[in-house]
Amino acid sequence: MPEKSSTSVDDPFGGRPQTSHERTSGRPWDASYQNGPAPWDIGRPQAAIARLASAGAFAGAVLDAGCGTGEHAMLIASLGLPVLGVDVAETALNMAREKARNRGIAVEFATADALEFAGLGRSFETVVDCGLFHTFDSEERQRYAASLASVTQQGGTLQVLCFSDQGSEIGPHPVREEDLHDAFCADRGWNLISIEPERIETRMHANGVSAWLAKISRV
């Protein structure tokens, strides 16, 4: 897949529309990686994703949507699976490529807009989303579900780890159970199989933040 050019001073958003998070923060996602680690970049896979990998939850060609600096993509690729990690943050992708080279892991990284995955021209049996879904507003979540459906094989599986609205520590973009049901419904090509309480580790919360782990099937 041809990569888009990195962001420029004139257009830090790389020619794409800003997401709701970027409009609110006033900064492109790429800026989060330019002055030290991002708050969510803990330098290792999230424990919940590591458990899924150990349990054999990933199969076939795998897409890591919003891969950041690549920890989950590399974890899954180390199992011998073909993995494409995509993000809009070119700085994060460059960091991911360097880490993969240093670790000797064969994995592919590319720039892509999560709301326009059809442009990838590829399909995947498994998709992992760790920390991307919750950054979108309600309209973007519907577009995102459709975007994922365009590249996920029928019968394929999507694993989503996102901030929840439950628990003592609430992340900046809390998701209700009904938000997941609304986005990943049959009308948008999905069947939500399960939602379980989990934790997302961050650099700012020693014990993590309340989260949902959702397993979703492409119908």
65 inside domain: yes
This prediction has a pTM of 0.90
Q: When comparing pLDDT for 23 and 201, which is higher?
A: 201
Q: What is the pLDDT of residue 4?
A: 41
Domain CATH for 34: 3.40.50.150
Mean pLDDT within 170-192 = 94
Better-scored residue on pLDDT, 171 or 147: 147
Is 5 a member of any domain? no
Check if the beta carbon of residue 194 is closer than 8 Å to that of residue 125. no
Is 162 domain-assigned?
yes
Percent of the chain at pLDDT above 70? 94
* Cα–Cα distances in angstroms (integers) from residue 18 to residues 8, 85, 140, in the given order: 14, 21, 11
How many structural domains is the chain composed of? 1
Give the other-Cβ count within 10 Å of 214's Cβ: 24
- Residue 102 domain-assigned? yes
In a domain, 129, yes or no: yes
Look at residue 107 and tell me if it is in a domain: yes
In whole numbers, what is the pLDDT of the chain averaged over residues? Answer: 92
The answer as to whether 194 is a domain residue is yes
Query: Rounded to whole angstroms, how far apart are CA atoms 112 and 210?
Result: 28
Structural domain for 61, as ranges: 20-218
